[in-house]
């Protein structure tokens, strides 16, 4: 055996016991505080708030972080919070949670299910944490508390972000525009996690893209109203919209490289009042998802061209086409992923930690990664292994996905796993 392998072996013998101590201490701290975490989780779950309305939620998180010892600034990006903890010289690490709920009724049936209402666009709506943001916030608090308890094991500055309005992919940008990095400094690393309908105790991640670009479609097709019995005396925008909805899919099936991800979905068609009147206009709303800038641009151009052509075929006025940029894809940093991967595998086991394909949903954590910060976004499971295994069988009982009214994370051990994974990831880049 040569000297170099001997040296490497000796180094690993030193590192592994140190990691084992960190891992054991992290798990023990989280276990000890879990009763408090469970109460916080159920309170957050029962009191969700919509994007940029997270006043109660932000106040609760701010109070908890101050009690831990963080310096907290509220109302960053309207309802966001920034919590800073300095522990000597070293890297600055951003850990983000999102705070907003969804405008929908919860149907999970828990005794702590949300009954909350809010105003959205002047209308009353029920609100629910059907995307797991309550899990994220609770794990975020547990991570902060554990890191402070173990501050002898790391050096640097913690920047814990409570971000508003993730569900409308606007909160991260609002915080950055409000001087997040100029007021509090630009971090050296950034982490975030997301609950996912996998088995609890498992962790998924990838390097490169882990979420999609998103763009909104808002198109108004114009016509000339008339009587339904005499369509020749009118220009029918319903037919133009219908043609567009069908034809736009050829952009995906015939123009996009079939090996690349890209989706166009039309979710709303609004126009008309009764069955025997041809309306003057019809509005079409939809969403575009993609991973790469090249595919994104191809789809955007194709959607615009198809809308204009659909109107031209009916000799109708040109439509009003708005293609509204949303969130960009999150691109995980390859080196940071590789560095964190080893720690997670040691802590949870190779069978519980794996690389997974990018999700097709969008997330504005990308705003932080795109600011030139090495970032890692990962996923933690929330359902029992038995329920997940049953759902994977042919004809098995399905489990509810994020944004379902039946989405029902199992709090323990889901919160413990998320907090433990995040804490170890942070210590790994800040260790003395």
Q: Residue 363: which pLDDT band, with cuts at 50, 70 and 90?
A: very high
> Cβ(362)–Cβ(402) under 8 Å?
no
Over residues 321-326, the mean pLDDT reads 94
**Tens-digit pLDDT profile for residues 372-425:** 999 999 999 999 999 999 999 999 999 999 999 999 999 999 999 999 999 999
Determine the pLDDT at residue 20.
Answer: 73
Separation of CA 124 from chain center: 25
- The string of DSSP codes covering 152-205 is GGB-EEEEEEEE--TTTT-HHHHHHHTTHHHHH---SEEEEEEEEEEETT-EEE
Cis? peptide before 413, omega within 30° of 0: yes
Q: What percent of the chain has pLDDT over 70?
A: 96
The pTM for the full model equals 0.89
Retrieve residue 74's tokens.
């509220």
Query: What are the Cα distances from residue 144, in Å, to 93, 248, 357?
Result: 12, 47, 29
Say whether pLDDT at 238 is over 70. yes
């Amino acid at each position: 055996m040569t000297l170099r392998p001997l040296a490497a072996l000796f180094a690993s013998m030193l590192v592994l016991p140190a990691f084992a101590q960190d891992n054991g201490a992290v798990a023990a701290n989280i276990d000890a505080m879990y009763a408090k975490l469970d109460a916080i989780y159920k309170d957050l779950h029962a009191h969700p708030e919509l994007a940029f309305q997270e006043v109660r939620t932000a106040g609760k998180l701010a109070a908890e972080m101050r009690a831990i010892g963080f310096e907290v600034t509220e109302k960053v990006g309207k309802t966001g919070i920034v919590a800073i903890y300095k522990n000597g010289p070293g890297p600055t690490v951003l850990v983000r949670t999102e705070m907003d709920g969804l405008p929908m009724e919860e149907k999970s049936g828990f005794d702590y299910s949300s009954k909350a209402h809010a105003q959205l666009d002047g209308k009353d709506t029920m609100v629910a944490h059907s995307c797991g943001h309550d899990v994220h916030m609770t794990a975020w608090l547990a991570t902060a508390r554990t890191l402070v308890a173990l501050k002898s094991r790391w050096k640097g500055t913690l920047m814990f972000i409570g971000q508003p309005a993730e569900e409308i992919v606007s909160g991260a940008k609002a915080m950055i525009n409000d001087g997040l990095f100029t007021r509090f400094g630009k971090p050296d690393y950034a982490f975030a996690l997301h609950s996912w309908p996998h088995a609890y105790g498992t962790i998924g991640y990838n390097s490169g893209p882990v979420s999609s670009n998103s763009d909104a479609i808002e198109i108004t097709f114009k016509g000339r109203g008339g009587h339904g019995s005499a369509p020749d005396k009118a220009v029918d925008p319903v037919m133009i919209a219908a043609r567009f909805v069908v034809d736009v899919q050829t952009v995906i099936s015939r123009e996009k490289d079939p090996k690349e991800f890209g989706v166009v979905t039309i979710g709303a068609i609004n126009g008309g009042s009764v069955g025997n009147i041809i309306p003057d206009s019809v509005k079409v709303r939809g969403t575009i998802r993609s991973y790469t800038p090249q595919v994104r641009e191809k789809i955007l151009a194709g959607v615009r061209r198809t809308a204009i052509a659909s109107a031209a075929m009916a000799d109708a006025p040109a439509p009003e086409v708005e293609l509204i940029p949303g969130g960009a894809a999150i691109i995980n940093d390859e080196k940071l992923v590789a560095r964190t991967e080893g720690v997670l595998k040691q802590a949870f086991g190779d069978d519980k930690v794996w690389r997974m394909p990018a999700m097709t949903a969008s997330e504005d954590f990308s705003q932080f990664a795109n600011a030139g910060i090495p970032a890692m976004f990962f996923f933690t499971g929330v359902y029992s292994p038995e329920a997940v295994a049953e759902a994977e069988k042919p004809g098995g009982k399905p489990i509810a996905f994020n944004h379902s009214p039946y989405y029902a994370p199992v709090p323990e051990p889901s919160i413990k796993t998320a907090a433990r994974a995040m804490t170890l990831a942070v210590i790994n880049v800040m260790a003395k």
